[in-house]
Amino acid sequence: MNKPMKTLIFDGSVAGDTMAQQVSNALLTALATRGWKSELVVLRNKKIAHCTGDFFCWLKTPGRCSINDDNIELAAQYVQSDVVIFMMPITFVGYSSEKKKINDHLIQNNSPFFTSIHG
């Protein structure tokens, strides 16, 4: 038997968004029907500071954010998932501030090593 797919759902909706609740419930039900293991993370309920943009996660502590909050746990869950779903309202042709905060902190999951090829 195959290992069930692990799905992580980042919910970047605002409090009281009934449509987001309906969508997340439908997603969880559909994924469970397929035998997938899913976790819903409501970003507004997590402590995630704004990224300082200092690149310490690359230069001083590669792979780990220097801000000690929930972003560290969420970044680990992100890389341990088979599928990640970002769910949020789109306003003014952009995504939510909660999505922006987690996006900025996911840079710690990328290798900080670059090389130049042919100039």
Terminal Cα-to-Cα distance of the chain (whole angstroms): 49
Residue 106: closest CA among 81, 86, 76: 76
Prediction pTM value: 0.85
Q: Report the pLDDT value the prediction gives residue 90, as an integer from 0 to 100.
A: 80
pLDDT digits (tens, 9 = 90+) for 26-78: 999 999 999 999 999 999 999 999 999 898 888 888 888 999 999 999 999 99
Q: Report the pLDDT value the prediction gives residue 2, as an integer from 0 to 100.
A: 76
Say which residue, 62 or 80, is predicted with more confidence. Answer: 80
Q: What is the mean pLDDT of the chain?
A: 90
Mean pLDDT highest for which of 18-27, 49-58, 106-115?
18-27
Between CA 58 and CA 107 the distance in angstroms is 9
Between CA 12 and CA 2 the distance in angstroms is 31
Query: From the centroid of its chain, how far is CA 54?
Result: 20
Cα dihedral 94, 96, 98, 101 in deg (nearest 10): 10
